Structure 1
Amino acid sequence: MLKLDQDLGGILKQSAKGSFILMIGQILSTLILAIGVLIVANLLGQEDFGLLNTAMAPVSIAMIFQDMGVNSALIKYISQNRFEKNRGNLKVFLESGLVLTFITSFLLAGVVFVSSGYLAEKVYGIVELSPLIRYLSLLIIGQSFLTTAYGITVGYERMGLRSGLQIFYNFMKSIAAPILVYIGYGVFGAILGELVPVLITGGLGLFFILLIYLKEREYSGSLSFVDATKMIVGYSSPLFFSRVLT
């Protein structure tokens, strides 16, 4: 009983520490990002900044469907299996989460990419938007893997790493876009300033996931890939629909 109380106390202490780190990271990231957006808006001017936001609209809508609650499911099942010391199941959840992320992100990015011409001409009536929407569709892929990395690092209670990724991403974004716009690339520079940071940080996230996965490979568990996928989908679906409906 005493050992259980000590374990519970340790978990609560670690959870509180992790939450504090996440909060600090979120505050810093928000401040950095806000500064970058203000600079880009000022450099682009009202017309070009409006064009950028218009091109971002279909991508932002697609991003609502991007995660589908997989991130939350990974946090739950990774944390649960780590607590229960079922390390053999962890690699299966990692595999399932990454496959689901890969499928949904490329599918959504493909839909936005293919429909960019129709959206630009028929919906917005601005032909110039078509290539901008196509470029921005890559954001969906980068953001999907970055979000998955966030979930996995939180599940492993690597709050510092999670916050570090977020701060690094927002810092790069707040610097890259203003510089590219300032040197004369205009709206295209702002788009590159969106794409490059998320793709680089998403790649870093995948690298860290790979390192975690390699540590889990030596363990075997009773859970199959199909079962893990069903569990993730079963847990994430209600979260996804509630988020969409609200």
Structure 2
Amino acid sequence: MGNEKEEFDSDLKTIAKSSVIVFIGIILSKVFSYFYTVIIARYFGPADYGLFTLASIITTWFVIISTLGLNNGLIRYISIFRAQNKKSKIHLIFRDSIKKVIISSLISFALLLLLSKFISFRFFNEPNLVSYLNFFAVIIPLTVVLEALLTLVLAYEQAGWYTFIHNFLIGALKVFLIGSFIFIGLGAYSIFLSYILSVLVALIFTIFLLKTKFSYVLKRVPKKTSKDKKLLGEIFQYSWPLLFFGVAWQLFHWTDSFVIGYFMSATEVGIYNAAEPLAFLLTATTATFMQLFFPIINKQNSKKNYNVVNELAKQVGKWIFMVNLPISIILIFFPKVFLGIFFGSEYLSAATPLRFLALGSLVFSLFSVSDKLITMKGKSKIILIDIIIVSIFNLVTDVTLVKFYGINGAALATMFSLVLLSVIFAVQSKRELLALPLRKKMVNLFFASIAPTLILYFLINKQLGVLFNLISLVSFFALYFLMVFLLKGFDRNDMLILRSALRKLKLRK
């Protein structure tokens, strides 16, 4: 029992520390991405920016398919074998997976080259898209191999290196290179070369990192035994449903826009898509905690430390709720403030959709923990079936509600779908592991939010301008966390993390 407590405390500190690193990485990634797209949009104009966007989307689909879903499989099985100290197994599955994704990505590269004219002329009627697709095809094998190599870094809980390469290095290089190439007069080639070279440099850097920290995985693999082949088959059986889960999840997100565009107009699609990214900000919080949560729970599950897994799920669920509750309150009660700041007054009609989407996203962000618990148990096919069922439900409700309620109906359909998927995940994780990402202290968090919300409502209604609203929002968060402390919303585990962080700050001083 004492050993389990030590492992729980250690893993909790690792997740908390990594979440800060990942959050900073996500912010930097968004900043670099924004600058990169702004440079393309402003310097090259709407036409080239549109071609760049289309090429990026098409290439992303080829990349997703080329991974074969093996990235998630690698993280799970490497974490398991790492806990069992079976380096030979890690070596085997890593090398085999790299070979598979190299072959699949080269096939995708060749296919995109062959289909570039067909896609450009038949689907988009854009002759200039051909050159974009031909150049972007090179990115497919580079990105697929890079992502596969980085799974080893992630499985070994090296969040710092993963974030540096994935979120900082690639983004910073893109911005620096496109600026440099534009300066020397390369024109549209600046887009192609900056994108390709940034990924190539990141790939080379990652290979050198693996040689330094994980050199054993780069050695030749001995001849495979029948047991080895059985293991590799098991990993593939686990991974392929996750590939289609990723595809289905993308389609789930696009359903609203497609249905609105079919029954209404492009204007309504644009207005609706002002609400959607704001609501899905709540999923960014989930991402900050999930990056190391998944490899850690796989490691503990393989050791049969089921109580540790259960407690980690509850604590991470509480952290997600603690951060997302005040954000969702702002989006639900004051949607026009955010829409006005980020998009302007012409998008204020997206206020009601934003309310519905924020509520659905809050519920789903919490029970994403249950999704990872089910995946940890190897039930990847169940996850695939879940998203297919909910995607069909989402499509049917979208079509039904958009006809009567427009964009409000689309948001309502997505909210129902997200809540339904959350309930399914919760029931399945409870059945499989007797675990739910819920703690009693969450009730304290809810009550802690009431007073700050009422005060913010009074201040916002004064309508004293954007600067006053921003100051009010900052004050709201400060008062919320003060109330969490006063109402004893922080538990022993929260105080453990806070004390650890304070000790490190004192040591640095």
TM-score norm. by structure 2 comes to 0.45
Equivalent in the alignment of 1:102: 102
Which protein shows a greater Rg?
2
Equivalent in the alignment of 1:19: 19
- Once residues 87 and 137 of structure 1 are traced to their aligned partners in structure 2, the CA distance between those partners, rounded to angstroms, is 35
TM-superposed deviation, 1:17: 2.0
- Once residues 116 and 225 of structure 2 are traced to their aligned partners in structure 1, the CA distance between those partners, rounded to angstroms, is 45
Equivalent in the alignment of 1:69: 69
Q: Which moved more, 1:218-227 or 1:15-24?
A: 218-227
Q: Say if 1:88 and 1:222, in contact at 8 Å, map to a contact too.
A: no
Q: Say if 1:96 and 1:228, in contact at 8 Å, map to a contact too.
A: no
Q: Say if 1:116 and 1:134, in contact at 8 Å, map to a contact too.
A: yes
Residues 184-195 of structure 1 aligned to structure 2 (within 5 Å): 184-195=185-196
Query: Which of 232, 240, 243 is the equivalent residue of 2:243?
Result: 240
- Once residues 99 and 220 of structure 2 are traced to their aligned partners in structure 1, the CA distance between those partners, rounded to angstroms, is 20
Q: Which runs of 5+ in 2 are unaligned?
A: 250-509
Q: Say if 1:92 and 1:224, in contact at 8 Å, map to a contact too.
A: no
Residues 19-58 of structure 1 aligned to structure 2 (within 5 Å): 19-58=19-58
TM-superposed deviation, 1:223: 8.6
Count of aligned residue pairs for this structure pair: 246
Q: Which moved more, 1:201-210 or 1:169-178?
A: 201-210
Q: Say if 2:51 and 2:132, in contact at 8 Å, map to a contact too.
A: no
- Once residues 119 and 12 of structure 2 are traced to their aligned partners in structure 1, the CA distance between those partners, rounded to angstroms, is 49
Residues 93-172 of structure 1 aligned to structure 2 (within 5 Å): 93-166=93-166, 167-172=168-173
Equivalent in the alignment of 1:230: 233
Q: Match for 2:24: what amino acid? A: I
Q: Say if 1:32 and 1:174, in contact at 8 Å, map to a contact too.
A: yes
Secondary structure of the structure 2 residue equivalent to 1:50: helix
Equivalent in the alignment of 1:199: 200
Map Cα deviations across residues 169-220 of structure 1 (whole Å, 9 max, x no partner): 1110122123323443222211111111011212222333344553355999
Residues 203-214 of structure 1 aligned to structure 2 (within 5 Å): 203-214=204-215
Q: 1:50 to 1:63 in 2, by over 3 A?
A: same
- What's the C-alpha RMSD, in Å, of the aligned pairs? 2.6
Q: Which moved more, 1:221-230 or 1:182-191?
A: 221-230
- Once residues 163 and 30 of structure 2 are traced to their aligned partners in structure 1, the CA distance between those partners, rounded to angstroms, is 12
- Once residues 109 and 211 of structure 1 are traced to their aligned partners in structure 2, the CA distance between those partners, rounded to angstroms, is 30
Map Cα deviations across residues 104-131 of structure 1 (whole Å, 9 max, x no partner): 2111111101111222333333333323
TM-superposed deviation, 1:224: 5.1
Q: Which runs of 5+ in 1 are unaligned?
A: none
Q: Say if 2:68 and 2:101, in contact at 8 Å, map to a contact too.
A: no
Q: Match for 1:143: what amino acid? A: T
TM-superposed deviation, 1:20: 2.7
Secondary structure of the structure 2 residue equivalent to 1:157: coil
Q: Say if 2:95 and 2:221, in contact at 8 Å, map to a contact too.
A: no
- Once residues 225 and 23 of structure 1 are traced to their aligned partners in structure 2, the CA distance between those partners, rounded to angstroms, is 38
Q: Which moved more, 1:153-162 or 1:185-194?
A: 185-194
Q: 1:231 to 1:205 in 2, by over 3 A?
A: farther
Q: Say if 2:78 and 2:155, in contact at 8 Å, map to a contact too.
A: yes
Map Cα deviations across residues 95-152 of structure 1 (whole Å, 9 max, x no partner): 1221122122111111101111222333333333323211110111111122112211
Q: 1:5 to 1:84 in 2, by over 3 A?
A: farther
Equivalent in the alignment of 2:500: none
Q: 1:218 to 1:128 in 2, by over 3 A?
A: closer
- Once residues 70 and 40 of structure 2 are traced to their aligned partners in structure 1, the CA distance between those partners, rounded to angstroms, is 32
- Once residues 130 and 36 of structure 2 are traced to their aligned partners in structure 1, the CA distance between those partners, rounded to angstroms, is 25
Q: Match for 1:239: what amino acid? A: L
- Once residues 45 and 238 of structure 1 are traced to their aligned partners in structure 2, the CA distance between those partners, rounded to angstroms, is 40
Q: Match for 2:244: what amino acid? A: F
